[in-house]
Amino acid sequence: MNVEDAAARISKSPDDLVAWEAGERFPTYNQLEALAERVYHRPVALFFLPEPPEEHPPVSEFRTLPEPEKASLDADTLLALREAWSFRESIRQLSEGESPAERQIWRDLRSSLGDASVLASRAREYLGVPLAQQMSWRSMSDAMGKWRDLVEAAGVFVFKRSFDQRDVSGFCLDDPEFPVVVINNSTSFSRQIFTLFHELAHVLFDVSGITKVDSSFVDRLSGEAGRIEVACNRFAAEFLVPPEAFPWAEFQRPPYDEAIAAVARRFKVSREVILRRLLDAHRVTSAEYREEVWAWFQEFQGMERGSGGHYYNTQAAYLGRAFLDLAFSQFYAGRLSLPELAEHLGMKARNVGRLEETIMARR
C-alpha cells in the first residue's frame, strides 16, 4: 500500500505514519494494534523484532505471470496469497505432513505439458461424473458445490474469499503434498467453476498460477509459460464440455449469442467455456473472445446483489468442507486446544461454537 492508503485506514495523516516509520515519533500501543490488525495484517509482536523479517515475495511463485501483471496485483490480492500460504501451513500441521485424502489427483494424473484434451478426459474419468449427471444439477451454485466437493475429495483444498481486485478470478499454490486453490467469491458461480478447473490444470502441470478475467497477457507470453496458460484454458473448457458432446450443429453461423447462452445453461457452465470452444475451433478471434468475456464480467458486476450476509455461513463457505473436517477432527481428537483451532480457522475462539453449529445445520 502507499502511505496515504495505509494512514487512511487508521484515520491518521500520512505525515504521522512517515514519522513513525522514520522513528521520529511513535504510535500509542492502541494505534500499533490498529496498524497490525487493520492495515498490515501482522502479529503485533512482529513490530518488536530487532529487524524486519525476511519474507518470500508472494508473486514469485507465479512464473507464468508477466512482470507487468505481477505489478498490477493490489494489496488485497497479495494478502490473499499470504492467507493461502498460511492455510497451506495449517493443513501441513493438522495432517502431520501427509495428505489426508485417500487419493491425490495431482499424483495420479500429474502431467508434463502435453495434450490438454487427453488430460481433461482422464481427469473427468478420475472424478467420475457422467455428463448426464452434470446436466441434471439444479443450478450453477449447485454445480459449483458438487465440483468443489469432488476436487477436494481428490486431495486439492479449495478455499474462497471475496477479492477487492475483481478481475482476479482466483489462483493456486502448487505443492507436492498440499496444493491449494483460492477462488474469488465475488465472481459468478459459472466463472468460479471455470476458475476451479483452470487452476486444477495448473496443479496437474505442477505450476502455481493466477486466473484473470482479462487474459490478453497470455498472447504476450512465450515459450513454456504461454503453452501452460493456453493448455489450462483448453483443459477447463474440454473437461466441462467434452469434445464428443459439444453440439456443433447449434453453431452454424454467427451471431452465436443465443446458442452460447442456451448451451451454457444446459451444461451448467459459463458462457466463457462455450466461447472458448469456439475460439479453439477458430469460429471467433482472440479479440472477439476477450471482448465478450470482459462484457459478461462487466454485466455481472453491474447486477444488484444483496448486501451483508450471515458471517458464519460465509466462513463455512470460504473455508470449505475438507479444511473444516480436518481442523475439527483434530480438535475432537484432543490434539488441538480451542485457541489453537481458532487460530487455524482465522477467527476468535468465542466464534468457533457458532461456526460449528452453522456447519452442522448446513449439512
Together in a domain, 9 and 111: no
Element (H, E) at 272: helix 271-280
Domain termination residue (choose one: 256, 281, 301): 301
Tell me whether residue 183 is in a domain: yes
Nearest to 184 by CA among 169, 204, 165: 169
Inter-residue contact 173 to 60 (CB < 8 Å): no
Distance linking the first and last C-alpha atoms of the chain: 40
Inter-residue contact 93 to 212 (CB < 8 Å): no
Which residues make Cβ contacts (< 8 Å) with residue 126, sequence separation at least 6?
A: 105, 108, 109, 154
Tell me whether residue 306 is in a domain: no
Tell me whether residue 178 is in a domain: yes
Inter-residue contact 186 to 166 (CB < 8 Å): yes
Inter-residue contact 305 to 171 (CB < 8 Å): no
Together in a domain, 154 and 7: no
Together in a domain, 251 and 167: yes
Together in a domain, 193 and 92: yes
Query: 3-state SS of 142-155?
Result: HHHHHHHHHHHHCC
- pLDDT confidence of residue 224: 82
Question: Is the whole model's pTM more than 0.85, yes or no?
Answer: yes
Inter-residue contact 345 to 352 (CB < 8 Å): yes
Tell me whether residue 185 is in a domain: yes
Give the separation between CA 337 and CA 6, rounded to whole angstroms. Answer: 34
Per-residue model confidence as pLDDT tens digits over 9-52: 999 999 999 999 999 999 999 999 999 988 988 889 999 999 98
Q: Phi/psi at 160 (nearest 5 deg)?
A: -130, 155
Range of the domain at 189: 59-301
Q: Average pLDDT across each block of 10 residues of the chain; the chain has 363 residues. List them in order.
A: 91 94 93 91 91 82 82 91 94 93 90 81 95 95 97 97 94 94 95 96 93 80 83 94 95 93 95 93 92 90 67 94 96 96 94 94 83
Inter-residue contact 329 to 341 (CB < 8 Å): no
34: how many CB neighbours lie within 10 A of its CB? 16
Together in a domain, 131 and 217: yes
Dihedral of CA atoms 225, 227, 228, 232 in degrees, nearest 10, equals 140
Tell me whether residue 101 is in a domain: yes
In whole angstroms, how large is the CA radius of gyration of the chain?
22
Give the separation between CA 293 and CA 309, rounded to whole angstroms. Answer: 28
Tell me whether residue 209 is in a domain: yes
Together in a domain, 325 and 296: no
Inter-residue contact 189 to 265 (CB < 8 Å): no
Nearest to 240 by CA among 111, 129, 112, 85: 129
Together in a domain, 12 and 160: no
Domain termination residue (choose one: 14, 32, 54): 54
Per-residue model confidence as pLDDT tens digits over 301-320: 877 565 556 899 999 999 99
Give the separation between CA 172 and CA 159, rounded to whole angstroms. Answer: 10
Inter-residue contact 169 to 212 (CB < 8 Å): yes
Together in a domain, 189 and 322: no
Together in a domain, 195 and 326: no
Domain termination residue (choose one: 273, 301, 329): 301
Together in a domain, 160 and 198: yes
Inter-residue contact 342 to 315 (CB < 8 Å): no
Tell me whether residue 263 is in a domain: yes
Together in a domain, 228 and 293: yes
For cell 456443433, the residue is: 248
Together in a domain, 182 and 80: yes
Number of domains within the chain: 3
Distance of CA 134 to the CA centre of its chain: 22
Per-residue model confidence as pLDDT tens digits over 82-125: 999 999 999 999 999 899 999 999 999 976 666 899 999 999 99
Tell me whether residue 260 is in a domain: yes
Inter-residue contact 300 to 187 (CB < 8 Å): yes
